[in-house]
Amino acid sequence: MRAAPSGMDTLDRPGRPQRNVPAYLEIIRGRLRIAVTYRQNAAFLLAAVVMQIFILRVVWTSLYGETEVVNDVNLSSMLVYLTIANLQNWALQDPSVSSYIHSRVREGQVAFDLLRPAGFVPQMLAHLVGSSLAMVLFAVAALPVVALAGTLGPPVSAAAFATWLVSLLCAYLVALLLNLILGMVAFWTMEITGIGVLYYLVNQFFAGALVPLDFFPEGLGVLARLLPFQATTYTPVAIYVGRITGTDALLAIGVQVVWIAVLVLFARLLWRAAVRRVIVQGG
């Protein structure tokens, strides 16, 4: 028979979740405990990011050579951008929750998740929040090592720092929704490992973690700005280093807010389609 949960979730009934806040907090704490328990895995992943930051530093330093400024960006600002962009991208793009959704769907456990009063989507969002908090804690602890591998520096101004915080929150929400949508793909494919790897590569490139969008060829730059990935990395980091300032920064945050609204709507439609595919067999 087809699973019939008592309520869809926050995407369909916005007023429901307040009663389940303790459950969401417990899920968040649970993800934090898992991250601490398996901290070696996070350490290895972080080491890979640190190595990538170091390689990017060497490559871009070589590309600049004796030239002090390229595309109105000096080498120091470029290195700070690359360091923060990669660290931020790593902290926001944890694939473990997408894999968790995939495993729940593949093993049929999603049927029990649907029957819980907390709702499936809020549960997954709580998992994502807890996982992200753990990644941020690991990233902060690794800052001394990151500073040696790359280049860290303060924001260009106090105003830029305040704007960056707002943009960073928006970036996190965009990344959260993208990860949720990626996990929902499991309802159709039953396997998302390949899609996850492809997503990670595409996201890194079009988010501007490897090459700032200012250096993209014109056509590719237009495409990158039409995709949501730049809202997760390029926009906040560009504000931090002073590439986007004043009114342009506010407009960039506006674009992030639009992407949040679009992704919420898309996730809601996708979830309504996904839940119809859940069939519980047996007693």
If pLDDT is split at 50, 70 and 90, which confidence band does 278 have?
low
Q: What is the pLDDT of residues 185-216, one digit of tens each?
A: 888 887 777 888 888 889 999 999 999 998 99
Q: How is residue 185 written in tokens?
A: 């793909």
- Catalogue the E-assigned strands of the chain: 69-70, 73-74
For a pLDDT cut of 90, what percent of the chain falls above it? 44
Q: Which H or E run contains 249?
A: helix 246-275
Taking a C-beta distance cutoff of 8 angstroms, is the pair 207, 232 a contact?
Answer: yes
pLDDT: is 12 or 218 the higher one?
218
Q: What is the pLDDT of residues 232-270, one digit of tens each?
A: 999 999 999 999 999 999 999 999 999 999 999 999 999
**In a 10 Å sphere around its CB, with 0-12 CB exposed, 13-18 middle and 19+ buried, how is residue 225 labelled?**
middle
At which residue do the structure tokens 């986007």 appear?
A: 244
pLDDT at 26: 85
State the average pLDDT for the chain.
Answer: 84
- What is the value of pTM for the model shown? 0.85
Taking a C-beta distance cutoff of 8 angstroms, is the pair 97, 129 a contact?
Answer: no
Taking a C-beta distance cutoff of 8 angstroms, is the pair 252, 163 a contact?
Answer: no
Angle at 65 between CA 244 and CA 142, to 5 degrees: 60
pLDDT at 242: 92
Most confident residue range from 94-108, 111-125, 238-252 = 238-252
